[in-house]
Amino acid sequence: MQVLQAQLEIGADPTEVGRARRWARARLTGCGVSADGPLGETLILLISELVTNAVVHTGAPAVLRIRLAGAPAGAVRVEVADASAVAPRPRRAGDADTGGRGLELVEGLADRWGWQPEGGGKRIWCELDGCPRLVDLAEGDGGAPARQAAHGPRMMAYAHPVPGV
C-alpha cells in the first residue's frame, strides 16, 4: 500500500514547536486535508503537544513523523521519537497549573495513543481515524503498515473513541 510518510528533525529549542506546526500544516494541506478543518486542527494540536513534550522534557532533539492513509485504513498516525527512555506519565493538572495537560489532551483527542522504547529513547504515537482516502502522493517506507500488535508487550496503548472527530 502506498502512503504518505513525512519526517521532520526537531531541534532541542522550544521555538521548534512552531516550526513543526507550520511544517505539518503544509504537509496536510498538500495531501488535501484542510489544516483549518476539524481533522487538521486536531492533528496540529496533537503534533504541538507531542513535540512540546519531547522538547521540554528531554532538552534534546526529536523526530516528528506523519503517516497518512496508513493502518487502520483511513487513519493518520503521528509519532515523535526522542532520546529519553523515561516513560510518559499522564497527569491531571490542577486549575492553577500552567502545564501538565499535554498527554491529557492527547488522550482525549486521539482515537489511540501509546508509546514504545526505541533505541536509547522512546517513540510516542497517536492515531486519528476518519481521514478521507487520500491520493497516493509518495511511496511508503517499503515496510508493513503500522500495527499495534507488532510492537510487543513493552508498549502501552490506550483506546479512546472521540465522537465527531
Q: What's the pTM value of the predicted model, to 2 decimals?
A: 0.73
Q: Are 143 and 83 in contact (CB under 8 A)?
A: no
Cα gap 86→95, rounded to integer Å: 26
Q: Are 90 and 107 in contact (CB under 8 A)?
A: yes
Range picked from 39-48, 87-96, 154-163 for highest mean pLDDT: 39-48
Cα gap 145→126, rounded to integer Å: 14
Compute the CA torsion angle 45, 105, 110, 31 (nearest 10 deg): 0
pLDDT digits (tens, 9 = 90+) for 61-96: 999 999 886 444 568 899 999 999 998 887 777 777
Q: Please give the backbone phi and psi of residue 38, each rounded to the nearest 5 degrees, phi first.
A: -60, -45
Task: Report the candidate in 82, 77, 21, 24 with the shortest Cα–Cα distance to residue 54.
Answer: 82
pLDDT digits (tens, 9 = 90+) for 87-132: 888 777 777 766 777 788 898 899 999 999 999 999 999 998 865 5
Cα gap 54→60, rounded to integer Å: 8
Q: Please give the backbone phi and psi of residue 97, each rounded to the nearest 5 degrees, phi first.
A: -70, 140
Residue 113, strand partner residues: 126, 158
Distances from the Cα of 120 to the Cα of 30, 46, 123, 145, 150, angstroms: 33, 24, 10, 23, 19
Q: Does domain 4-90+99-136 have CATH number 3.30.565.10?
A: yes
The CA-CA-CA angle for residues 19, 57, 79, to 5°, reads: 55
Q: What is the pLDDT of residue 47?
A: 95
